[in-house]
Amino acid sequence: MRARPHGQAVAGSLNADLSRSLLALWRSTLSQPGHHQRYLCRVTRLSLLALQRKLDCSALADDPRFQHPGWQRPLQQRLLQLWQAWQQPLQQWLNELDIGEPERANLRWLLDQLSAASSPSNSLLNPQIIAATRQSRGANLRRGARNLLIDQLTQRPLAMPEADNQYRAGHELALSQGEVVLRQPSFELIHYTPVTEQQYSKPLLIIPPPINRYYLLDLTPATSLVQHALQQGMAVYLISWRNPNPSHCNWGLSHYVRACREALKQVLARSGSTQASLLGVCSGGILASLLAGWLQARDRAACLSALSLLITPLDARLQTDLQRLAGSATQQRLRRQVWRQGYLDERSLGSLFTWMKPEQLLWQPAVQRYALGEALPSSPVHTWSHDNTRLPAQLVEDLLDLLTRDPLSRPGSLQIDGAHIDLTRLSVPSWHLAAERDHIVPWHNALPAGRLGGDCQFTLCRGGHVQGLLCPPGQARAGYQSAPTDAQDTPESWASRSSLTEGSWWPAWTDWLARHSGDLQPAVHPLADPALGPAPGHYVHQL
């Protein structure tokens, strides 16, 4: 696992906004004393029920933290129910506070953190910890204390997995064969080797997010979306972004869109086709959309045959912790810090996503490493999720502007490389994917209704932000809803007429893409260049 720099940008930036929210809460105790008294009375009543083990905790039945049979013991049941007693009336108390919405959002995030931190599963009364301590005669606690000391001395953040070489890009991960056919200061372009004798004439250019490495899309042979597209006869090209350093601080949205434009130009030239399709993922979907918008503004969109956007927030009004953390004071301080460094460092970026799901990404690993004394599990997804990259200061600035202004909702209000972006003018057909349990891009924020022109097909799959993408054919419990969408659609109206299909969404996407990818022709193999090397390239390994 790669070492990380200090990473204090995000944490330090929260102080002013949280302080203002706590001050608003204190003032509400003076202006709404009855409201707080009612909450305390209800908590008291629920606590008395909890002490008698009569409080309903059915909401925790599927919580992985409480699956050990020891949680059914009287003491552990009382702990669980007391923990629930102060939380069950919490949302009503918070919603009825007479404070501003930004302060309420910050308090909601803070209370979520307190809830996760105070979970009984984090205490020594966790029956799993008790059982491990008895079985090992305390060896687990000694190992955990040693792990904690080592992590403190080495500044290893947030109970990260130990560094290991079990999963490495180009060895166990990112194994699809191909060649780097272009290397630019900000990206490498990979052309993948065909696995079929014939391929569709119109190539596919994949634009991954500049956050983390691209190989989530080519994780393992069994979970590779790249490999699936190749097997269906697609001619696949992919951008691998460089990990920026302070000298790249001025790389913003315009720079990344220009890079995508250059990659598209190369794809068209190398394939001999007049058209190509784009696939953008998450923030890479934003880049793909802006590229399509730029081409439309310049009357050059005819070179696009189709646009696929996966978990892409076309509606940037995200009601998530990511948005709650972006208060005005937080943004101002974050901007100062990233411009001082030249980038948002990878440790801060990783911490940001960790604090969005602390019960799963922070406290469960901490219990396992420090209380159970166990090594954290290693897996392809774990390896990828901790392989964070830096973000240039200008890109951070531009993404904060997207979150704040939501310029894509006002055609022409966003300017990229001298062109005013109006996605409603697009006529290229598009296919959209969202995940129903996505905590980063809620599915209704990915719905293109009213924001994108052309024929739009929207698909909602089971799973979360990452697991929704990793959905090869044969995946257990996979399924998706799908239906066309138009400018007047709401999430409710789309859902009411969508149809449910059991199984992976991958075949549905490639079937749709094939209809917009031209005729089959003899497959074109990439030309190897010893100076550039084979896939996965150089930039994916760059520290």
d(CA 450, CA 457): 13
- Structural contact between residues 242 and 194, judged by C-beta atoms closer than 8 angstroms: no
Q: Scanning the structure block, which residue is given the tokens 């009004």? A: 317
- Measured in degrees and rounded to the nearest 5, phi and psi for residue 404 equal -85, -50
Structure token pair of residue 480: 């998706």
282 has catalytic annotation: yes
Helix, strand, coil fractions of the chain, as percent rounded to 5: 45, 15, 40
Phi, psi (deg, nearest 5) at residue 22:
-65, -35
Token code pair at residue 427: 């006529």
Alpha-carbon distances, residue 345 vs 152, 261, 328, 337 (angstroms)? 19, 26, 21, 10
Q: Compute CA distances 396 → 101, 244, 339, 391, 535, whole Å.
A: 24, 12, 9, 7, 29
**CA 516/CA 107 separation, integer angstroms:** 47
CA atoms in the 13 A half-sphere facing the CB of 415: 3
- Distances in Å between the Cα of 406 and the Cα atoms of 181, 202, 296, 301 are 36, 33, 20, 23
Dihedrals phi, psi of 445, to nearest 5 degrees: -75, -15
- Omega before residue 69 within 30° of 0, cis: no
Strands 391-392 vs 187-192: parallel, antiparallel or unpaired: unpaired
- Looking up tokens 């919603």 gives 95
Catalytic residue of the set 249, 282, 461, 471: 282
Report the catalytic residues: 282
